[in-house]
């Protein structure tokens, strides 16, 4: 009887530890990155790729992104405790120790590279390693706390899943892959800057020079517009190059128009001094990218 009564707390404890380690990987960020991986593989194949290859690439990509995110949490644990958005992270609450997080991040990184090398292509594995190193050293350690352009250049790390997906299928990189890389690169600032507007006080408190901290709202709103327009324009470049069909074209124009509308709306509200509601742009940017890449993956499967 005693052992049966003590079992539930033990199970809760194990589940709690598992949840804490999963939280280190920022699973919601990984979900968005993988949305860009699978459709790119379909486009590269011009059909349904080998399903084992898709699964292997998704697993390897998730491990790679999880490693980079865990390193990020380890490095930023000193400022995370002072920000309302991040003060419940497992390294701040003490659910996971710093050394344990570092070992976990390193293990995920090694496994991801070895996994992709064995089950996909060496190029995909090397790109996975490059993504981890870029996110850790260029964004987290160098740019994040030093430059208002941190998101612009640091966002390159989030573009690697596109290249990984393409190279897993073809073993090389073509113009189409680099155009999609450009789309994600240009999309990242107008996606993240609205979030930094919402949490401006948090970033200011820890001296992280996000654009919303060092510039006023109209200046940030204008930058969001410029990058949103550049993103939509880059997405249209793929139409003649790939080439893409009617579905992708319609979605790129329609979803892009919605993204631009929300971006202009944010800017106009900032000029009038109204309540900004920046999360409307943040959420629309996620919907835009998701719709665009879903269309990217379905379009090659449709009859010409």
Per-residue pLDDT at 32: 79
Q: In the 8-state DSSP scheme, what is residue 139?
A: I
Domain boundaries, the chain: 25-173, 174-304
Q: Which CATH number fits domain 25-173: 2.40.50.140, 3.40.50.620, 1.10.10.10, 1.10.357.140?
A: 1.10.357.140
Residues 6+ apart with CB under 8 A from 42: 48, 49, 296, 297, 298, 300, 301
User: How is residue 143 written in tokens?
Assistant: 């740019």
For each of the chain's 304 residues, which pLDDT tens digit applies?
444 444 444 455 788 889 999 999 999 888 877 889 999 999 999 999 999 999 999 999 999 999 999 999 999 999 999 998 899 999 999 999 999 999 999 999 999 999 999 999 999 999 999 999 999 999 999 999 999 999 999 999 999 999 999 999 999 999 999 999 999 999 999 999 999 999 999 999 999 999 999 999 999 999 999 999 999 999 999 999 999 999 999 999 999 999 999 999 999 999 988 888 999 999 999 999 999 999 999 999 998 6
- Token look-up 């517009």 returns 225
**What single string gives the DSSP state of each residue in 145-209?**
TT-TTHHHHHGGGGGHHHHHHHHHHHSS--HHHHHHHHHHHHHHHHHHHHHHHHTHHHHHHTT--
Name the CATH topology of 174-304. Answer: 1.20.120
Note the pLDDT tens digit of each residue in 132-143.
Answer: 999 999 999 999
Other CB atoms within a 10 A radius of the CB of residue 216 amount to 9
pLDDT score for 3: 43
Q: What pLDDT, on the 0 to 100 scale, is given for residue 11?
A: 52
């Amino acid at each position: 009887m005693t052992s049966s009564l003590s079992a539930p707390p033990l199970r809760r404890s194990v589940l709690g530890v598992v949840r804490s380690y999963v939280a280190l990987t920022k699973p919601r960020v990984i979900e968005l990155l993988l949305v860009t991986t699978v459709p790119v593989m379909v486009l590269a194949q011009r059909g349904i790729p080998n399903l084992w290859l898709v699964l292997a690439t998704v697993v390897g990509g998730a491990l790679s992104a999880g490693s980079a995110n865990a390193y990020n949490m380890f490095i930023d644990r000193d400022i995370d405790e002072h920000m309302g958005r991040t003060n419940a992270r497992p390294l701040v609450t003490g659910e996971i120790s710093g050394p344990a997080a570092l070992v976990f991040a390193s293990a995920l990184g090694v496994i991801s590279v070895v996994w992709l090398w064995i089950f996909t292509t060496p190029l995909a594995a090397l790109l996975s390693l490059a993504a981890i190193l870029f996110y850790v050293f260029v964004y987290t350690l160098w740019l994040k706390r030093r430059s208002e352009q941190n998101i612009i250049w640091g966002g390159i790390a989030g573009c690697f899943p596109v290249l990984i997906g393409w190279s897993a299928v073809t073993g090389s990189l073509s113009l189409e892959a680099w155009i999609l890389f450009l789309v994600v690169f240009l999309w990242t600032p107008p996606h993240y800057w609205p979030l930094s507007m919402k949490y401006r006080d948090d970033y200011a408190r820890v001296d992280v020079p996000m654009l919303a901290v060092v510039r006023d709202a109209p200046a940030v709103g204008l930058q969001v517009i410029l990058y949103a327009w550049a993103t939509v324009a880059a997405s249209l470049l793929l139409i003649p190059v790939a080439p893409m069909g009617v579905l992708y074209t319609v979605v790129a124009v329609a979803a892009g128009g919605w993204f631009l509308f929300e971006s202009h709306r944010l800017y106009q509200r900032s000029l009038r001094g109204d309540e900004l509601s920046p999360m409307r742009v943040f959420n629309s940017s996620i919907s835009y990218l998701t719709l665009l890449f879903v269309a990217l993956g379905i379009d090659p499967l449709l009859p010409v």
